[in-house]
Structure 1
Amino acid sequence: MQIRPASPADHAAILAIVAPTLAAGETYAIATDLDDDGVLAYWLSPTHEVFVAADGGTILGTYYLMANQAGGGAHVANCGYMTAPAAQGKGIARAMCEHSLVRARERGFRAMQFNHVVSTNTRAVALWQKLGFDIVGALPQAFNHPVHGYVDSYVMFKKLI
């Protein structure tokens, strides 16, 4: 598997991963009714440095890296990760997160923060903790999950230096 910057040739594969995840409404606090252009505009935002995890010609996952905030908060990175359903449980998210930590350090970020990790996304919470992220805050009932109703979200943080 190779993790590399996304190219325009990857947009259809990125859309195939990101669109159903956003539409499901279970892990991202983003509108669930975005059309294809809206999905790509979100994921490929000019503020996002976007990567794909590929095995040969097959895109297994994608992530973006960005500054979490502007100005005085621009030294803290933020990322979003998505893995293709057929590739889940195969270490793709771990590899992408590890790659993003290296890339964030290369870009001079001093920390990484995830602002809204939905508590019911237990696989992600456990993985981020294994990779050294701490839950530094719980946002009570901050996410309206389509199955579980109002659930907590976590703010997770890791120092990079």
Structure 2
Amino acid sequence: MLIRDARVEDWARVWPFWHQIVSAGETYAWDPETSEPDARALWTGPGKRVFVAEDAGEIVGSASVRPNYGGPAATTANGAFMIDPGHAGRGIGRRLAEHVLREAKADGYRAMVFNAVVETNPAVGLWSSLGFTILGTVPEAFEHPRHGWVGLHIMHRTL
């Protein structure tokens, strides 16, 4: 598997699984009705570094990294990760995350934070195994389509 910086033309191959994941409404606090142009801006807009995981020529995952704050706090990154559901369970998320964490540190970030990890998201286990801690949970902040109202974790890791 090749993990690399995304190119402009990669978005067309990321969008289908991005849309599938967000429209399911289970793991991201983004509007499930997000349009393709708005999704592209959310994922690839100015100030973001985007990565893709490519396997046998197929893009199977992507990550987007940006400063979480501005000014003197801009060395804390915010990351977002998506793995094509058709390729889940193959370790792609872990490999992509390890790569992105190394790159974020090399880019000068000192930490990474996730502002809204749905507490029922299976990725919570991955993030914990990679050294992220839950700083707090906003209770009943996310209306999950199967579990009802669940919390949103704020997770952090020093790089």
Q: Normalised by the shorter chain, which TM-score bucket?
A: over 0.9
Using the TM superposition, give the Cα deviation of residue 47 of structure 1 relative to its aligned residue in structure 2, in angstroms: 2.3
Instruction: Supply the RMSD in Å over aligned alpha carbons.
Output: 1.0
Unaligned runs of 5+ in 2: none
SS of equivalent to 2:114 = strand
Which residue of 2 is the match for residue 77 of structure 1?
Answer: 77
Which residue of 2 is the match for residue 40 of structure 1?
Answer: 40
1:11 aligns to 2:7 (yes or no): no
* Equivalenced residues, count: 159
1:132 aligns to 2:113 (yes or no): no
**Structure 2: which amino acid aligns with 1:158?**
R
Q: TM-score, normalised by structure 1?
A: 0.95
Aligned pairs for 1:1-161 within 5 A: 1-121=1-121, 123-160=122-159
Unaligned runs of 5+ in 1: none
Using the TM superposition, give the Cα deviation of residue 114 of structure 1 relative to its aligned residue in structure 2, in angstroms: 0.8
Q: In 2, distance between residues paired with 1:76 and 1:152? A: 23
Q: In 2, distance between residues paired with 1:78 and 1:36? A: 22
SS of equivalent to 1:26 = coil
Q: In 1, distance between residues paired with 2:34 and 2:139? A: 26
Using the TM superposition, give the Cα deviation of residue 26 of structure 1 relative to its aligned residue in structure 2, in angstroms: 0.9
Output one character per residue of 1:96-152: Cα deviation in whole Å (capped at 9) or x when no partner. Answer: 11011101111111111111110010x200000000111111111111112212101
Runs of 4 or more, structure 1, over 6 Å off, are none
Output one character per residue of 1:2-31: Cα deviation in whole Å (capped at 9) or x when no partner. Answer: 110111221111101111111111111111
Percent identical residues = 42
SS of equivalent to 2:105 = helix
Q: In 2, distance between residues paired with 1:14 and 1:3? A: 14
Q: TM-score, normalised by structure 2?
A: 0.96
